[in-house]
Amino acid sequence: GAVVSQHPSWVICKSGTSVKIECRSLDFQATTMFWYRQFPKQSLMLMATSNEGSKATYEQGVEKDKFLINHASLTLSTLTVTSAHPEDSSFYICSAEGGTSGVKQFFGPGTRLTVL
Amino acid sequence: DAKTTQPPSMDCAEGRAANLPCNHSTISGNEYVYWYRQIHSQGPQYIIHGLKNNETNEMASLIITEDRKSSTLILPHATLRDTAVYYCIVRASGGGADGLTFGKGTHLIIQP
């Protein structure tokens, strides 16, 4: 299957700082990328959908000014958590779809964010 | 997207076939059934998807009932590495701009 990478795999930061997470589709061009969040013992929740070159679409209840998404190319999307607080600590996972992946979404390995 | 119902947990002996059921009684004609699994602290892994015909790949088989209201994912020879949470998801054809709606899934535990 297609490969999606995320960087970093884990990050610890102080409250009030910003953190950027990268998501890359390594062997296909992703017309659409998705960002999910997963709290402990819960299922994945879709945060936002981004298409290359256009603004992201956020799910209800997700603050677009806090979670900045940039999808500048067909292989890269970034999620920036601005002014992070302890309640933002979570497992952030991206997925990508398009091109040779067809209608299947392929997921990255996830990024564990801990805000102190 | 239609809602799915799965048992919260299942056990299966190593080497045996694991049969994971899913109910999707409100599925629409243009919705596919997708299966993903998530091993602890990893991103979900695509397994298989289908519309109405049974499907098989190197990982699993997907059996969809004729009325499409339920399906079964079959792992033919389960190993300890198949222990994971399995998600059954229905999604409109073509995917497009739709994210996936994850339910609680089935926690499959393979016993040695």
Tens of pLDDT, residue by residue over A57-95, are: 999 999 999 999 998 888 999 999 999 999 999 999 999
Instruction: Collect all residues with Cβ–Cβ distance below 8 Å to B64 and sequence separation of at least 6.
Output: B33, B50, B51, B52, B53, B54, B70, B71
pLDDT at B95: 53
Beta carbons of A32 and B32 less than 8 Å apart: no
Closest C-alpha among B99, B110, B112 to residue B20: B110
Distance of CA A64 to the CA centre of its chain: 13
pLDDT at B29: 87
Higher-confidence residue of A87 and B93: namely A87
C-alpha A76/C-alpha A23 separation (Å) is 6
**A97 interaction partners in chain B (CB closer than 8 Å):** 95
Compute the average pLDDT of residues B10-15: 97
Beta carbons of B49 and A104 less than 8 Å apart: yes
C-alpha B52/C-alpha B33 separation (Å) is 9
Closest C-alpha among B79, B83, B85, B78 to residue B106: B85
Compute the average pLDDT of residues B31-57: 93
- For residue B40, the tally of other CB atoms under 10 A from its CB is 7
Beta carbons of B102 and A45 less than 8 Å apart: yes
Lowest-pLDDT range of B4-8, B78-82, B94-98: B94-98
**What 3-state class would DSSP assign to B61?**
strand
Compute the average pLDDT of residues B39-53: 92
* Chain A touched by B40 (CB under 8 Å): no
C-alpha B31/C-alpha B52 separation (Å) is 10
- pLDDT higher than threshold 60 for residue B96: no
* A46, A51, A107 ranked by CB distance to B44: nearest: A107
C-alpha B104/C-alpha B87 separation (Å) is 7
Q: Which two tokens stand for residue B46?
A: 């695509």
- DSSP letter for B69, please: S
Confidence of residue B92 (pLDDT cuts 50, 70, 90): confident
**B42 interaction partners in chain A (CB closer than 8 Å):** 109-110
C-alpha A2/C-alpha A96 separation (Å) is 9
Confidence of residue A1 (pLDDT cuts 50, 70, 90): low
Sheet containing strand A4-7, strands side by side: A4-7, A19-25, A76-81, A67-73
* A32, A45, A109 ranked by CB distance to B43: nearest: A109
Compute the average pLDDT of residues A38-65: 92
Confidence of residue A108 (pLDDT cuts 50, 70, 90): very high
